[in-house]
Amino acid sequence: MLSTHQIWTIVFTVPFLTRAIHARGKLNVLHMIADDLRPTLGCYSDPVVKSPNIDQLASKSTVFYNAFTQQAVCAPSRTSFLTSRRPDTTKLYDFNSYWRVHAGNYTTLPQYFKSNGYTTFSVGKVFHPGIASNHSDDYPYSWSVPPYHPPSLYYEKRKVCKDKDGTLHSNLLCAVNVSEMPLGTLPDMENTAEAIRLLKSVSDADNPFFLAVGFYKPHIPFRIPQEFLKLYPIENLTLAPDPDVPKKLPSVAYNPWTDIRKRDDVRALNVSFPYGPIPKDFQLQIRQHYFAAVSYVDAQVGKLLSALDDLDLARNTIVVFSSDHGWSLGEHGEWAKYSNFDVATHVPLIVYKPDEASAVRNFGEKIFPFIDVSQNSEEYYNGGKGHGVESVVELVDLFPTLSYLAGLNPPHRCPNPSFHVQLCTEGFNLAYLFKHPETHIDHESYAFSQYPRPSDSIQQNSDLPDLADIRIMGYSVRSNDFRYTLWVTFDPVHFRANLSDIHAGELYVRSEDPGEDNNIFDDVEHGSVLRKLGTQATWTESLKQHIYYFNAGSKSKGVL
Ligand SMILES: *[C@@H]1O[C@H](CO)[C@@H](O)[C@H](O)[C@H]1NC(C)=O
Ligand SMILES: *[C@@H]1O[C@H](CO)[C@@H](O)[C@H](O)[C@H]1NC(C)=O
Ligand SMILES: *[C@@H]1O[C@H](CO)[C@@H](O)[C@H](O)[C@H]1NC(C)=O
Ligand SMILES: *[C@@H]1O[C@H](CO)[C@@H](O)[C@H](O)[C@H]1NC(C)=O
Ligand SMILES: *[C@@H]1O[C@H](CO)[C@@H](O)[C@H](O)[C@H]1NC(C)=O
Ligand SMILES: *[C@@H]1O[C@H](CO)[C@@H](O)[C@H](O)[C@H]1NC(C)=O
């Protein structure tokens, strides 16, 4: 028998509990995506880059230290993580097809939220523009309203960068006085303003929202506000620790950074193809501008999070900060993305999930106060590191993880093949790692990335071959201990890899060679290392399993 007190307790608390559960089941999502950003951030222990706002977010979040993209170039990566399918399933390795027509009518991450009652918004570069998203950013399937593109983007690659003599060029290095720019602004500033406007418009709405904000930086050209450069005096900077092309690097693995060669200031250097090198003083300036571009993105993140907070949305909004892939800053004598190295595949992945602490706080206390590093370079964020996860995870894991955290059913694992299945995932729900970040160092967790090439030797189109020109696919597997890559014959008509036809291989042992400079693939004398890792045949089997069976069941991440 219940006492009247107990009955009243139940009568009073059940509706509150229900409401609390309901509210928890309807969390908003703010997904910020940087373009070409490797984890050069304070919260990833980068010693140089100033990123106080992202660090502040990280201090209240789960930080995935070992997150990897599935292909290190924009359109294939974005189509992959937004559909939670690998490039072999989206059949997109270049920029030139729309998955719904070319591969399968796959449901996207925002589309899934939209179909579950969310209002979904796209600001800036979320899907890759052009054919890859049917010239519509996949509107109306993925978005409730037409996606926003900032007007000043029109000037992004035009002659707006001032040389020392005052003439205007299409430069790589393009730190500008923003008030002198056409329209008096820059694309990411417009993105931030539009995202804040949208947050204001939905703050009282009944439906939850999914707001994706794709920043254009630190992608080249480095058209950024000039005040961020002074955070990185050239005399304080160093070259990459390994600025030379490694001796045992197979040529098929090298990317010749053709995109930066096309900019006016780089072209004037007469850098030889394919290896260069770029003169050292210019290398330092590229690094300086990249770091400054990261701090500029950090400022946008800070402004947006501060607005989220002011609108009292930080207590019921999941915040994700990620990137599409990395960018080589001179490591291995390489620049840009377009490879299977860590510098190109390793990405930041930070996930903030509101909890009781963020719901109950003192009046006026902010979760995300804006930190203005451009005005005061001493303003670091020193407030702790958040929950660090060492397990190796992949961007295809985002879709099931975000769905679950927001209160939706995560999609089921894909069968193989899955071209006919609209809604499924080739990733894993990482929610387990939020509750148990300490149960990491899971040596069984792998990330798979791949990169296509037109030939064994380096050509003008080695960075980004069109589908019809692909002859070789580099399949790469990364664990906490090693990276292993096989470059094999690939048939672009039937989308078939021939694993018996190996053109080259790479094996890097992380404990001895974190920069991936010493390829020991052909070095049978490294028997003890290989025994530690298992035999090469084992890893080949693991790759085969991935390619033919999409790795079903061979990954043992914690799955809810
Ligand atoms: C693709 O799926 C969407 C719903 O997700 C549907 O509206 C559309 O008709 C489908 N298109 C084709 C060609 O099947
Ligand atoms: C792609 O866009 C065109 C033009 O707006 C439209 O007619 C076509 O149906 C779209 N394709 C798909 C698969 O929705
Ligand atoms: C930026 O340009 C504006 C307009 O030409 C000028 O007034 C201002 O002094 C410039 N700022 C800097 C820091 O050069
Ligand atoms: C540059 O290095 C000097 C000497 O180590 C240091 O005092 C200064 O704070 C550094 N400047 C910046 C902006 O990091
Ligand atoms: C690059 O080559 C052009 C034409 O050959 C020459 O005029 C110019 O001085 C060269 N620049 C450098 C930096 O070597
Ligand atoms: C795969 O490559 C091997 C070795 O070159 C060759 O013998 C075999 O015929 C190829 N298989 C297919 C299906 O092309």
User: Taking the mean position of all CA atoms in its chain, how far away is CA 124?
Assistant: 15
Q: What's the pLDDT score for residue 482? A: 87
Question: Cα angle vertex 254, ends 252, 255, to 5°?
Answer: 115
pTM, whole model, 2 decimals? 0.92
Q: What's the pLDDT score for residue 266? A: 98
Question: Angle of helix 52-59 relative to helix 280-310, nearest 10 degrees?
Answer: 50
Burial of 339 (0-12, 13-18, 19+ CB in 10 A): buried
Is 375 close to ligand 5, i.e. is its CB under 6 Å away? no
Whole-number Å distance between alpha carbons of 212 and 196? 12
Burial of 465 (0-12, 13-18, 19+ CB in 10 A): buried
CATH 3.40.720.10 is the classification of domain 4-444: yes
The tens place of each residue's pLDDT in the chain, 560 residues long, gives 444 444 333 333 333 333 333 344 589 999 999 999 999 999 999 999 999 999 999 999 999 999 999 999 999 999 999 999 999 999 999 999 999 999 999 999 999 999 999 999 999 999 999 999 999 999 999 999 999 999 999 999 999 999 888 999 999 999 999 999 999 999 999 999 999 999 999 988 999 999 999 999 999 999 999 999 999 999 999 999 999 999 999 999 999 999 999 999 999 999 999 999 999 999 999 999 999 999 999 999 999 999 999 999 999 999 999 999 999 999 999 999 999 999 999 999 999 999 866 655 666 789 999 999 887 656 566 667 888 999 999 999 999 999 999 999 999 999 888 999 999 999 999 988 887 766 554 445 789 999 999 999 999 999 999 999 999 999 998 988 889 898 999 999 999 998 889 899 998 989 999 999 999 888 755 445 555 555 556 666 666 655 544 333 333 332 22
Q: From ligand 5's centre to the CA of 239, what distance in Å?
A: 24
Residue extents of the structural domains in the chain: 4-444
Q: What's the pLDDT score for residue 386? A: 85
Alpha-helix runs per DSSP H in 407-482: 431-435
- For the four alpha carbons of 553, 91, 408 and 304, in that order, the dihedral sign comes to positive
Alpha-helix runs per DSSP H in 204-363: 258-261, 264-267, 280-310, 342-345, 356-359
Report, as residue numbers or ranges, the catalytic residues: 74, 128
The pick from 48, 234, 236 for probing ligand 4's pocket by mutation, whose C-beta has the most ligand atoms within 8 angstroms, reads 236
In the sheet that 472-478 helps form, which strands lie side by side, from edge to edge? 447-453, 472-478, 482-491, 496-509
Q: What's the pLDDT score for residue 550? A: 38
Residue bearing the CA closest to ligand 1, atom 2: 105
The tokens for 306 are 């501060």
Residue bearing the CA closest to ligand 2, atom 4: 134
Q: What's the pLDDT score for residue 26? A: 82
Please name which ligand lies nearest the alpha carbon of 267. Answer: 5
User: In ligand 5, which atom is closest to the CA atom of 270?
Assistant: 1
